[in-house]
Structure 1
Amino acid sequence: MKVLFLMFAFPDMNKSFNMYTTLVEEFVNHGHEVTVVAPGIGKTGIYVENGIPVLRAQTLPIKNVPNYLKGISNVLLPFQFERALNQFYKEKSFDLVISPTPPITLVDLAAKIKRKFGNKFYLILRDIFPQNAVDLGFMKKEGLTHRYFRKKERKLYKEADYIGCMSQGNIDYVMKHNPEVSEVKLHELKNYQKPYNGFGSDPQLLKKKYGIANKFVVVFGGNMGKPQQLENVLVLAESVIQFPDIVFLLLGEGVQINKIEAEAKSKGLTNIKIQRTIPKQEYQDLLSVCDIGLISLHKDFTIPNIPSKALDYFNVGIPVLASLDRATDFGKILDEEQSGMWSYAGDHQLFHENLLKLYQSPDLKSTMGQNGNTYFKRCLTPEIAYNTILNCLN
């Protein structure tokens, strides 16, 4: 097939990878003719990344910017992508368009392409927007901005021929709040990642480099913003300050990273280390020498998020310690797979107790880590995601 990927979070494949780059590679490896359009920071053009041509469209800043600027960038994105497509692929047709959320604004371009070529449109539903913005207080429900994006969301579900949801909870949520959507469109497309194939670094040197030698390391990897409510992690770190070998390693970026760093310093939390973004291979190597992977979701979420950072933890075989909102069904997954322990956000006592159970029981920690890795291999690889999408088309 001739497949067009309209991508938002798409790193340079020469330097890194994520869920979406690995799916593109999976389609290429299966012999499909793939076209990728993604944001770029330089001049619009086609760049060869890991042997795959990627059309990078010059856009406004998207990451680590104020919400109002992010909103403007998202609104302009379909026009910038369309201009780039017309410049470089004007006469090219497509059999399938694949696009994830965020953002939802690319629906306008996807619908236009669908009308032109009669192709199928597959939606990878990850963020359920704009409700997640309402939950976090970024947007007023039924306000002008909300109504605009809610209209886009309804159009998105209408135009999509197939909708891959992260979990059954996601499917149930979409059906409950959008009863006009045909249920046959909806199915489960779990998060996915290419399997971790072992060390690119020396374990002991890596531990020494990040100051975690001879430590019990609780790691948090990924975005540090309001959705993660990392204040709960600070409370947890403070509750175990008397254990000198327990250290919290926070890896990543985000609009709240400076705030979290300042609060940790003001509280005298010497057991917290913060490290900005590092190369993906080294990131996975570093996770693999840690003991526990942290998940933290904001207590006010009303949508069932499945945190993608859990993929990294399952992939390298470390157990999950999670603080969750009451809407997600991620805790149910942890229980079913016996791959981690969880509590509700705000239940600091249980969060603390769960950490100590894993800290004090090496066998429990090891077993849960192995269970998570087994679950990953069974359900969370790009090949499984690829087959799920292809099965819809067949």
Structure 2
Amino acid sequence: MDENDPWLTNELAGSLQRAGNKVSVVCLDWSGSLSRKKSTFYITSSGTEVFIEKPVAVFSRFPLLSKLFKWGGSSCVASLLVSKLEKKNSYDLVICFSPLVTMSLPAILLAGLMKKKSLLIQWDFFPYHQRQIGMMPSGLIFNVARKVEGFLISRFKYIGCMSPANISYLRSHYPIRQEQTVFTLPIWGAASQLPKSDRSLVREKYGLPNDQPIIVFGGQLVQGRGIEDILETARLAKIQSCPATFLIIGSGLLECLVDDYISQENSNVVRLAHVPRQEYLEIIATCDLSLVCTVRDVDVPSYPSKTIDYLRVGLPIVASVEKTTDYGEHLAALGVGVYTEAGKPEELLRVIDELLKDPARMAAMKTQGPICFRENFEVDSVVSNALKVISAN
């Protein structure tokens, strides 16, 4: 939505453009920030065309139906725009992100009917994850969503998954055809200049203690992010007089849980609302440890994108993740973090405490983080490898 506050999708488009391609982005503004305009258009500094459409608003007594109608109607709007752009540009490659139901008609049009070379970046295993974290009921609605998503996935020639565990999950839960190419496509980040900041001044600016280690969690405060486990870990840390502050940066439906905890005279948790990317990097660079948390009792293997910024600034990572993911093992193998099983706050606090008491190990992880980022997750390298896969098949 804002070139000055980029995310992974901005970095992907910019990398493709820098590699000599003409890139058009069709974006649906699910946040609803375009309240005065139906659509807008701009060209980024790298030359990428960005078309932003306002989603269709449909209201129902049943929230899930409202969301499904909103997705379907917005997909129709996006498909009309895509049709016009295709006549003008005759695209060679279409890239979509999961869940595909939110862009179903453009996906069918370009990847299915027009048989364009197509790449699906499979991050969200819809609707399995949504059902497991309570965002979707079982039964008819789930089964219809599963069939629709599976059909849309089958339209794509190339599918990039974040890790080998993700590939295994994809093959076991969706109808993957033999002629489809499935490969590992890591999450990525741009190797931009990091902000240079004074640790004491930044902490003072945001009301953070200078005399305690700070453990940061950055991201959306919604279901599936382990917010309850983080707060329980903070509560246990207070009981055990663990001298650490938990900094939570973000907003979302569950921010009320964080604010309620803080309001009960719990000073070991501080929450900052969403801040622009460069400001976010400046803040987390002054922290000591970072948190990656998911939830218990899910089988969808995750690879959280917040990892990228943690590595860029050299923050050791403490992960509390589901048993089915290979994320934790990957962190440990790369020498940039430690992990435990989601849903066990006592164990999470123990791991945090052990790491805080081992400054030599933390220093080694801090040094290794930026190296790991450059070698495994730098966007131009990731994009180059993906295009090689597409060109070779």
TM-score w.r.t. structure 2 length? 0.90
Is the counterpart of residue 159 in structure 1 residue 149 in structure 2?
no
CA distance in 2, matches of 1:337, 1:35: 35
Aligned to 2:135: 138
Taking the TM superposition and a 5 Å limit, the aligned residue runs for 1:1-394 are: 11-13=1-3, 15-40=4-29, 41=34, 42-50=37-45, 51-60=47-56, 69-86=66-83, 90-114=87-111, 117-141=114-138, 143-178=139-174, 180-182=176-178, 185-199=181-195, 201-212=197-208, 213-241=210-238, 243=241, 245-266=243-264, 268-394=265-391
The number of residues matched between the two structures is: 378
What's the offset of the Cα at 1:97? 0.2
Note the C-alpha offset of 1:144. Answer: 2.4
Question: 2:5 corresponds to which letter in structure 1?
Answer: S
- Deviation (angstroms), 1:151: 1.6
Query: Would the aligned equivalents of 2:111 and 2:156 in 1 still touch at CA under 8 Å?
Result: no
AA at the equivalent of 1:285 = E
Runs of 4+ in 1 over 6 A off after TM superposition: none
Q: 1:115 to 1:322 in 2, by over 3 A?
A: closer
Q: Deviations over 1:257-292 (max 9, x none)?
A: 1122113433x3211000001111010111111111
**Alpha-carbon separation, structure 2, partners of 1:369 and 1:200:** 16
With over 3 angstroms needed to count, the CA separation of the structure-2 counterparts of 1:114 and 1:360, relative to structure 1, is closer
Distance 1:185 1:54 in 2: 28
Q: What CA deviation, in whole Å up to 9, does each residue of 1:297-320 have, x standing for no partner?
A: 010221101111111111111111
Contact 1:44-1:84 at 8 Å conserved across structures:
no
Contact kept in structure 1, 2:262 and 2:270, CA below 8 Å: no
Task: Spell out, residue by residue over 1:33-87, the C-alpha distance to the aligned partner (whole angstroms, 9 max, x if none).
Answer: 111111242332322333532111121479xxx6654443322232111223345
Change (3 A) 1:337 1:60: same
User: Root-mean-square deviation (CA), in Å?
Assistant: 2.2
- Identical residues among aligned pairs (%): 26
Gaps in structure 1 of 5+ consecutive residues: 1-10
Contact 1:44 1:55 in 2 (8 A): yes
Shift of 1:164: 0.2
Q: Which runs of 5+ in 2 are unaligned?
A: none
In the TM superposition, residue 373 of structure 1 has moved relative to its aligned partner by 2.5
* Between 51-60 and 334-343, the greater mean CA deviation after superposition: 51-60
* Range moving further from structure 2, 48-57 or 120-129: 48-57
Cα deviations by residue, 1:163-221 (Å, 9 ceiling, x for unpaired): 00010001011112235433751100011011252215443321111122233110000
TM-score (norm 1): 0.89
- SS across alignment from 2:5: coil
Name the aligned partner's letter for residue 43 of structure 2. V
2:100 and 2:107 in contact (8 A); partners too: no
Report the Cα offset of residue 147 of structure 1: 2.0
User: Which range moves more in the overlay, 179-188 or 201-210?
Assistant: 179-188
Shift of 1:357: 1.3
**Cα contact 2:157–2:180 (8 A) shared by 1:** no
